[in-house]
Amino acid sequence: MTNHVFHHSDAGGIRIHVLPTKTFKTYAVSLYAGIPLAEETVTPTALIPFVLRRGTVSYPETTRFRERLEELYGAGFGFDVYKRGDYQIVQFRMDTINDSFVSTKENLLEQSFAFLGEVLTKPALENGSFRSSYVHTERETVRKKLESIVNDKIRYAAERCMEEMCRNEPYRLNALGQRKDLEGITPDSLYQSYQSWLNSVILDLYVVGDTTPEEVEQLVTRYFGLGSRKDAPYQSCFTPKTVSEVKTIEEVMEVGQGKLNMGLRTSITYGDDSYAHMLMYNGILGGYPHSKLFVNVREKESLAYYASSRYDGHKGIATIQSGIEIPNYAKAVDIIRKQLEDIKDGQISELELIQTKAMIRNLLSEIQDSAFEMISYDFNRQLSGKDRSTEELMQQIEATGAEDVKRAAETVQLDTIYFLTGQKEE
């Protein structure tokens, strides 16, 4: 793995991160806009990028907006809305071919900045607020996305488990907002939300490609025009929580297969020196096909259709997802709890360590093959305040032994058991 280093600077109220490289034939541009997750802002914030993608001052009609991307040699433009820790992040992405590979008089990087800057700061308006047709259509889009979660029972169970576990924390909120708040959003109210969002959001702009930090700074100043903003870093509001008793929630719906989810808390987050140990813990527990949950719950006992675990290093939460036959609930809970205890007791084989290291090594080396993956990895540093290259993380993973994983396991506490079931037991 070669070590790629981003150049970090500030300009025009935006933090700028540039990786000059000739490795890729395109420019990858990514703009992250982060704001603390909050009940009153989560829904309008989620809706904003859907409306922004409909049109700008220069390209007010959606068809014209899309044609402009075609004129830029089929530039890619998209966005995502998600949460990292207790922040709601809107990420805009552009992927534009490097001018030297096409015959054009235009500087395509500059044109991409002109386009993205306008998407962010100069939306199409009518009567001083957002176009009502755009707001109504996109409100419907978001509503359908939220409704689709209820229909996808695996996702629904995962969301509900987090809602119950983090009942008094912002993390309970879905990044796409709440259906009940959509109806009340008007073009006027959304435009006001957008203006206050633009003033308070934390902005990080990434560029990977054949350019220089100086060129990018000039383009940001020219096309984003957010000069008076204060550049504030992300605040880590993490406080380890002690679990006094495990919450058990059972919910009845029309399901043929039970969904058993568990929420776990750990004091280890991305900023910790023992983060690598927690990654290894998650890999051995349920991150991969060789993991304990997969082998013991699914294969040996045939208790689950799927069984895996995930770890959010920005929040210090791990989750277990499994799909089971409804009568197997008690047995499945026992076997899953046994896996948690076994790791705490240090029952970790050499093979589990070797296989987990190999899986993480593959993931880390794949980051180097994708400009957007490199950007995504570096953004972890902005969120956590922790500077750790992929090489350093890999060295820490390689150096992790069973004893380190056992120590990480000792910080893990089961917090919530959530079961989505199809019928009440007689």
Distances in whole angstroms, Cα of residue 186 to Cα of each of 38, 132, 183: 19, 8, 8
- Asked whether this chain's domains 7-224 and 247-421 adopt the same fold, the reply is yes
The Cα–Cα gap between 385 and 375 comes to 15
* Residue-level pLDDT at 231: 66
CATH class of the structural domain 247-421: alpha beta
Confidence of residue 220 (pLDDT cuts 50, 70, 90): very high
Q: What is the largest CA-CA distance in the chain?
A: 75
Mean pLDDT of the region 324-342: 95
* Residue-level pLDDT at 359: 98
CA-based nearest residue to 161, from 274, 312, 42, 281: 312
The Cα–Cα gap between 228 and 249 comes to 48
The Cα–Cα gap between 20 and 248 comes to 51
pLDDT tens track for 359-386: 999 999 999 999 999 999 999 999 999 9
20 — phi, psi (to 5°)? Answer: -70, 125
Distances in whole angstroms, Cα of residue 239 to Cα of each of 214, 266, 281, 382, 413: 39, 10, 21, 19, 14
Domain boundaries, the chain: 7-224, 247-421
Side chain identity at residue 88, one-letter code: Q
Per DSSP bridges, beta strands 413-421 and 247-252 are parallel
| Tokens, residue 154 | 């695996």
pLDDT tens track for 35-65: 999 999 999 999 999 999 999 999 999 999 9
Residues with Cβ within 8 Å of residue 56, at least 6 apart in sequence: 65, 115, 118, 119, 122, 123, 124
| Tokens, residue 53 | 């993608």
Superfamily per CATH, domain 7-224 = Metalloenzyme, LuxS/M16 peptidase-like (3.30.830.10)
pLDDT tens track for 228-261: 677 678 987 677 888 899 999 999 999 989 999 9
How many residues appear in the chain? 426
